[in-house]
Amino acid sequence: MITVKHTQSILLRTLLAMAIALCSLASVAQTDRIPLPDMGNSASGILSQKEERQYAQALLRQMRALDVLVDDPLINDYFQSMGFRLVAQSDKPDKEFHFVVLDESRINAFAAPGGVIALHSGLILAADNEHEVAGVLAHEVAHITQLHLYRALESSQRMTVPIALAMLGLILAGGGSGEAVQGALMGGTAMSQQMQINFTRHNEYEADRIGITTLSLAGYDPEGMAGFFSKLQRLTRPNGEGPPEFLRTHPVSVNRIAEARNRAQNMPRVQPGNGLDFLIMQSRLRAMAESKPVDAIAWFRDQLDQGHTQARDKALKYGLAIALQRHTEYDEARALLQELLAEEPDRLAYQLQMSDLYLDEDRDEYAIEILGSLYHSFPGNHAIAMQYAKALLANEDPQRAETASIILRQQILYRDEDPALFALYARSANIAGDKVRATEAIAESYYQRGGIKEAIEQLERLTQKEDLDYYERSRVSARLMEMRIEIADMRDGERNS
């Protein structure tokens, strides 16, 4: 029997594949410079700004619902910062973007409507340095800023993106029910047949040209893009199916690599440094992505035996410490972290991992001491705030839970689409005795994971409580109305498409 979860996963893969394919369609824009002239509103008019935002949020919620995103504050903050650094130097620095890391071993990346850019974890692990990953991101940013998706749709006279995302909305509006998923999946079959469009490589060349300029302006090595493309051409997939997925969705030729390299040579070069920040995030991703910690331990030990640069060896030790901790080998993990901290006592990744180790060992006070100091030095840092709140909640003390609630409410002001943040806030509010705020936060956590029906049910039950004060009832009722309107809009959009 095919489960709802399975069919949801199939549909999401279809939608993501379409997003990738759309980025390979023909584009009429040809230019070498930033900023570019406005090519008119017809292409961008396929979706309004409001629709773009709604579709991006719907896609992100469904990704979370299917648990295909890497959910780690340190990793996400690092690659989001990289993405926004590039956007700031693009010709559309004010455009809304969303950068995510997919828990997917295939080497690929894609851009989707609404400014969603996804890196596969496999691509990050295949890169040698941050400049190569930044090159891929710059390429995807250019796909969006140059309206490649919309221009392709305009030229083909097909409304594939609105149809695809209306289907996504149907699933969300149906709360992931079997009928909603199966109905959308049937639509997906016809939709995939509709995608038989002749692709060209013009937009890929344009994304290269614009992306390399953006890469250089953002302070990254402009050689990063060509270097990564060249490396991928030399790789073959381990199962013998041919080149990495990235080359299937982003065709790379010798001429294209040569052109990218020539363009990069005419731009200021960047001294790459030791790249330790990237190597640490890469090791963290590898240690956390491996389903069997013992396999990760073996991989890191083997790499350390081979000998590398000092920076890479540090990153490998950090990754080994995480893998050992996951395997409950706490003593060796602690020894490695202490060695790393002795050399760099202020490196945040090491400090946070040591605090996490203390929490696993039920040594909460040691973790709170580290995290309290970090939080007071960097109160806006999301990874620190989340870890500090978790530590404060470890012994379920109401007073500490109130402190955690204050910390998390500050984070929600800037990250109101993070389900893990709302889930942790719900726990803190519940321990602190604020049952209303706890239920509201649970509802938001459901909502951000694609469970809008479950979110509505939570809020409806809350409105039935007789002891809500005027402000609580007004707040809950207003949010409930917003969700009901959103479901109605999703269903209308599906019918119209």
- The whole-number pLDDT of residue 496 equals 63
DSSP at 36: P
Residues 163-209 pLDDT 10s: 555 555 555 455 444 455 445 444 444 444 443 333 356 788 888 89
Higher-scoring residue by pLDDT: 315, 46 = 315
In the prediction, which pLDDT does 165 show? 52
Predicted pLDDT of residue 197: 32
- Percent of the chain beyond pLDDT 90? 58
User: How far is 251 from 402, CA to CA, in rounded Å?
Assistant: 53
* Rounded Cα–Cα distance for residues 158 and 154 (Å): 7
169 closest CA partner among 450, 459, 479: 450
Average the pLDDT over 330-356 and give the result.
Answer: 98
Question: With bands split at pLDDT 50, 70 and 90, how would you rate the model's confidence at 46?
Answer: low
> According to the model, what pLDDT value does residue 256 have?
76
Quickly state the pLDDT bin for 271 (edges 50, 70, 90): confident
Question: Annotated active-site positions, please?
Answer: 140, 208
Q: Please, what are the domains in the chain? A: 4-265 (no CATH), 274-361 (1.25.40), 383-497 (1.25.40)
Q: Which CA distances in Å does 321 have to 306, 315, 331, 362? A: 18, 10, 10, 18
Angle at 490 between CA 182 and CA 192, to 5 degrees: 45
370-420 pLDDT tens trace: 999 999 999 999 999 999 999 999 999 999 999 999 999 999 999 999 999
Q: What is the pTM of this model?
A: 0.83
The answer to whether residue 479 scores a pLDDT higher than 60 is yes
Band of the pLDDT at 254, cuts 50, 70, 90? confident
**Which of 4-18, 216-230, 296-310 tops mean pLDDT?**
296-310
Confidence of residue 54 (pLDDT cuts 50, 70, 90): confident
Question: Hey, which of 69-73, 110-114, 203-207, 490-494 has the most confident mean pLDDT?
Answer: 69-73
pLDDT surpassing 50 at residue 59: yes
DSSP 69: B
- Confirm if 68 and 104 have CB atoms less than 8 A apart: yes
Express as a percent the part of the chain with pLDDT over 70: 75
Sequence-ordered alpha helix ranges (H) in 23-173: 49-65, 73-87, 121-126, 130-145, 148-156, 160-173
Determine contact, residues 69/100, Cβ cutoff 8 Å: yes
Label residue 433 by pLDDT band (50, 70, 90).
very high
Q: Let me know: does 463 contact 477? Beta carbons within 8 Å.
A: yes
315 vs 303: CA distance, rounded Å = 11
Position 137 scores a pLDDT of 96
Top pLDDT among 176 and 225 is at 225
